[in-house]
């Protein structure tokens, strides 16, 4: 059969392994080590008794209402999707076709993939030597093309300041898309409330990280009503009902249990500080490349080891991590529970002793 040329030329995103056996401590896709709120479980059970024969509420009315309250905006500032990847793709389709948005050379690797599918050629802008964003270079491109950035950036784990990002937003009438997948673990605040001041700022968030709900697929954008209308226009050109009834109920319950959310975030941040300190103390040959990580993961190098060797050694010892050589020869390790983090520390020590 004939497959179209545009399809043959794609290089799809490769997600982390999702092993079916349970023998690994899974620290390779930046999931949350803690379970979701009990109220989420109840909401899902209850949703099984709702009228699932009917299409979902395409407006996600309840979910948008609670998200608006949480973010300090109005429901018409919220757009929900089937995971933040879908929301980001929708935003690229809505705002960047016909433009070459600024994109850091080291960033979430799904962006170039979205762009390729959509026929968008982003303008790659190098990070500075300290892995921070070069705002002068970014602004030069963004002025007439907009920009895509992730704050804190993945995989560098570094945050940029609100004032630097807002200066970029002010410099252009094109969209500035800020992916805040990891913002709840960061030392900087979310830009979400700023959408009330800047109609070209689009902030995207996810339930997959701090809410421990990667399995339900839900993400959302916070933006001006005109930007939200553009997102809806794209969505309604490929799938009118992207967020199913059960996911809407689960996500709503998660937002309403703010106490649990805050506790989980605090636990992950504490775990991050502990594991980075303990790893750094293992030996002079161990280097946490991102000692000040603002995300729920860190990059780990070991002198005389390639990333692939560290990956294999940790896998052999029951820890699944991901090779990520963009910043240094390193593996990317998700922050786990105290127990899981201890296994990582032992595994690294054991690897070094073994040789």
Restricting to residues 173-192, name those near its own copies by CB under 8 A.
173-175
Among 21, 23, 53, 353, binds its own copies (CB under 8 A): 53
Question: 67, 255 in Cβ contact below 8 A?
Answer: yes
| Helix axes of 245-256 and 258-282: crossing angle, nearest 10 degrees | 80
Cα distance between residue 217 and residue 208, in whole Å: 7
Give the binding range for its own copies (CB under 8 A) out of 224-232, 305-313, 315-323, 341-349.
224-232
Question: What is the closest distance, in whole angstroms, from the C-beta atom of residue 179 to its own copies in the complex?
Answer: 14
Among 104, 154, 183, 227, binds its own copies (CB under 8 A): 227
Q: Which is nearer to its own copies, 161 or 226 (CB)?
A: 226
Q: Which is nearer to its own copies, 51 or 355 (CB)?
A: 51
Question: What is the closest distance, in whole angstroms, from the C-beta atom of residue 279 to its own copies in the complex?
Answer: 23
Strands lying side by side in the sheet with 147-150: 78-81, 219-222, 201-206, 176-179, 147-150, 102-104, 123-125
Question: What is the closest distance, in whole angstroms, from the C-beta atom of residue 246 to its own copies in the complex?
Answer: 5
Any contact of residue 250 with its own copies (CB under 8 A)?
A: yes
Question: 318, 25 in Cβ contact below 8 A?
Answer: yes
Q: How many residues bind its own copies (CB under 8 A)?
A: 91
77-116 binders of its own copies (CB under 8 A)? 82-83, 85-86, 89, 93-99, 113-114, 116
Among 109, 161, 197, 240, binds its own copies (CB under 8 A): 240
Any contact of residue 262 with its own copies (CB under 8 A)?
A: no
Q: Which is nearer to its own copies, 48 or 270 (CB)?
A: 48
Question: What is the closest distance, in whole angstroms, from the C-beta atom of residue 288 to its own copies in the complex?
Answer: 24
Question: 48, 233 in Cβ contact below 8 A?
Answer: no
Q: Which is nearer to its own copies, 175 or 275 (CB)?
A: 175
Any contact of residue 199 with its own copies (CB under 8 A)?
A: yes
Cα distance between residue 334 and residue 17, in whole Å: 13
Q: Which residues contact 1 (CB under 8 A, 6 or more apart)?
A: none
Any contact of residue 49 with its own copies (CB under 8 A)?
A: yes
Whether omega before 249 lies within 30 degrees of 0, making that bond cis, reads no
Q: Which residues contact 29 (CB under 8 A, 6 or more apart)?
A: 15, 16, 18, 214, 322, 334
Distance of CA 18 to the CA centre of its chain: 17
Question: What is the closest distance, in whole angstroms, from the C-beta atom of residue 235 to its own copies in the complex?
Answer: 8
Cα distance between residue 240 and residue 44, in whole Å: 22
Question: What is the closest distance, in whole angstroms, from the C-beta atom of residue 154 to its own copies in the complex?
Answer: 15
Q: Assign 347 to helix, strand or coil.
A: helix
Any contact of residue 161 with its own copies (CB under 8 A)?
A: no
Question: What is the closest distance, in whole angstroms, from the C-beta atom of residue 348 to its own copies in the complex?
Answer: 24
Question: 141, 170 in Cβ contact below 8 A?
Answer: no
Q: Which is nearer to its own copies, 335 or 351 (CB)?
A: 335
Cα distance between residue 85 and residue 221, in whole Å: 11
305-334 binders of its own copies (CB under 8 A)? none
């Amino acid at each position: 059969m004939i497959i179209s040329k545009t399809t043959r030329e794609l290089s799809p995103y490769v997600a982390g392994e999702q092993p079916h056996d349970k023998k690994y401590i899974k620290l390779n896709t930046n999931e949350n080590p803690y379970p979701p709120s009990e109220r989420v479980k109840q909401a899902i059970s209850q949703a099984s008794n709702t009228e699932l024969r009917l299409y979902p509420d395409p407006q996600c009315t309840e979910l948008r209402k609670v998200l608006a309250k949480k973010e300090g905006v109005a429901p018409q500032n919220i757009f929900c999707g089937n995971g933040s990847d879908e929301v980001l793709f929708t935003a690229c389709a809505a705002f960047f076709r016909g433009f070459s948005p600024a994109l850091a050379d080291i960033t979430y690797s799904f962006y170039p993939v979205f762009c390729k599918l959509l026929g968008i050629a982003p303008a790659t802008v190098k990070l500075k030597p300290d892995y921070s964003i070069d705002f002068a270079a970014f602004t030069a491109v963004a002025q007439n093309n907009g920009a895509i950035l992730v704050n804190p950036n993945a995989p560098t784990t570094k945050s940029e300041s609100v004032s630097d990002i807002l200066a970029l937003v002010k410099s252009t009438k094109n969209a500035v898309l800020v992916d805040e997948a990891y913002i709840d673990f960061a030392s900087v605040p979310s830009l979400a409330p700023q959408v009330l001041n800047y109609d070209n700022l689009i902030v995207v968030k996810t339930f997959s990280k701090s809410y421990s709900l990667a399995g339900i697929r839900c993400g959302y954008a916070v933006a001006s009503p005109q930007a939200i209308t553009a997102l809806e226009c794209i969505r309604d050109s490929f799938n009118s009902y992207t967020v199913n009834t059960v996911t809407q109920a689960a996500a709503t319950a998660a937002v309403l249990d703010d106490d649990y959310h805050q506790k989980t975030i605090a636990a992950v941040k504490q775990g991050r500080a502990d594991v980075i300190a303990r790893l750094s103390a293992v030996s002079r040959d161990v280097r946490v490349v991102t000692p000040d990580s603002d995300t729920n993961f860190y990059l780990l190098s070991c002198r005389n080891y390639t990333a692939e060797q560290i990956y294999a050694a940790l896998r052999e010892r029951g820890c699944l991590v991901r090779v990520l050589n963009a910043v240094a020869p390193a593996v990317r390790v998700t922050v786990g529970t105290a127990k899981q983090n201890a296994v990582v520390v032992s595994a690294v020590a054991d690897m070094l002793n073994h040789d």
